[in-house]
Amino acid sequence: MADLTRRRAIVAAGALASSTLLGGPGWLGRCRAWAADQPFRPEKGAKLKLLRWSGFVQTGPEEAAFARQIAAFTAVTGVAVDVQSVPLDQVPLKAMVAANIGGGPDLIWSLNDDAHLIPEKLVDVSDVAEHLGSRLGGWYPVAKAYGMHNGRWVCLPFAVKGYYLNYRISWVRDAGFDVFPTDLDGFMRLAQRLKANHHPIGFALGNAPSDANNWCYWLLWAFGAGVADPDDLVTINSPQTIRALEYVRELYPNMVDGTLSWGDRDNNEAFLKGVVACTNNPIVDYAKAVAEGNPIAEDIDHAFFPLGPSGTPAEFQIMYPMMLFKHSRYPNAAKALLAFLMERPQYDDWLHSAAGYLTQTLKAYETNPVWTEDPKRAVFRDATARSKSFAFPGRLCPAASAVLSDLVVVQMFAGVASGQESPKVAVEIADKRIQRYFRG
């Protein structure tokens, strides 16, 4: 244990030295000034445990920046922070275990609506949220949707992972489009021409909790449909849903074979190998191509999801909130850490290091140079502003969460795309499944 502690100290010291070089000689001084002036006073002898998700493709710099901020916080407050990482799919389970046993990490950097499943186990962080919001341009609406439960902030929405259309520039031009279409009619024409040119599109319709839900919820909302309304009345069986299903029935023949069994990694592989001309993903494919010196990087760009009959952007992006548990012995220290991580210049440094993979939840950070130094990142700047919670237009609740995790919407679209079900039958099946969740 002593050796492990020593190694952690060495890592923290290295991270802090790196941060001083990166932020300039005055950065640590500004951190000390913040510590002297900020409103959340750590308890005497405070020490914290924070559990976060482990890195994805091309997120090493983000994790290094996070370590820099943690080391700086310890340096200016004296509060030791033990950060542990686990794969993302394990984080929600560990959050539920911590809530049930009343012990474990003080803070968990979690996923989407986890806080709404255990609100009674979490510290009210309204004071932190209001403090940050008043100083940093305010929170985006979707951040408030995920952050607030029954009028109080039960978590701090830290960042959003944006998914947009990744496409091959030359192939889109060969299909007769100088710019990527901004409406569904244009998107259909592009898909048809790409397929005719032997460059099909490809979107996951299998067991892909991130990628499949992302584009299927967007298409549902683009037509003005939704799973349920704010009063928890199930609304999936509607003319708008039928029209969305009719659209996917026409779109599917322009996809590469096999998308009905695609998971979250299959579209990445297909896109980077040139098997498909367009798919939905975060910026990871472009970042990977750049990092590896792959010449395909020059031919990759990103586009917003096209607008549909609803006329307004409505996209499902993934939220990463931080939760503070009531079993923590040091809630003030934890609040101070949350505030520190999202203040300038810490968050600016961290956001820049993510290189477009993660997007801010406070509006002031729209001006971070990460969004302008490479034009191919630009669309991801607006991921939070254009996003809705996955329960939209309804409220976050266990039933909506179950519909998402069980891929009900995805399977509805897949049933029609495969030809196994008509739009009418598919929506009736989905309606029966969703009704059971909401009645339960």
pLDDT, tens only, 193-243:
999 999 999 999 999 999 999 999 999 999 999 999 999 999 999 999 999
Label the pairing between strands 107-109 and 318-324.
Answer: antiparallel
Which token pair is 256? 């590469």
**What count of other Cβ atoms lies within 10 Å of the Cβ of residue 428?**
15
Positions of the chain with pLDDT lower than 70, given as ranges:
1-25, 55-59
CATH number of 164-316+406-439, picked from 3.10.20.30, 1.10.260.40, 3.40.190.10, 3.40.640.10: 3.40.190.10
| pLDDT the model gives residue 30 | 87
Do the beta carbons of residue 284 and residue 302 sit within 8 Å? no
Torsion of CA 136, 141, 145, 149, to 10 degrees: 60
pLDDT for residue 55: 63
Q: Tell me, what's the pLDDT at 15?
A: 43
**What is each CA distance from 10 to 7, 60, 67, 181, 236, in whole angstroms?**
5, 18, 12, 51, 54
Are 361 and 341 spatial neighbours (Cβ–Cβ below 8 Å)? no
Residues of the chain with CATH 3.40.190.10: 2-161+317-387, 164-316+406-439
Give the model's pLDDT for residue 25. Answer: 57
What angle (nearest 5°) sits at the alpha carbon of residue 50, between those of residues 154 and 20?
Answer: 115
- Token pair for 74: 């310890």
- Report d(CA 331, CA 140) in Å as an integer: 25
Query: Please, what is the Cα angle at 147 between 142 and 152, to 5 degrees?
Result: 130
Contacting residues for 389 by C-beta, under 8 A, at least 6 apart: 113, 142, 145, 146, 319, 396
CATH, domain range 2-161+317-387: 3.40.190.10
Do residues 161 and 320 lie in contact, with contact meaning Cβ atoms separated by under 8 Å? yes
Our measurement of the distance from residue 102's CA atom to the centroid of its chain's CA atoms, rounded to an integer in Å, reads 27
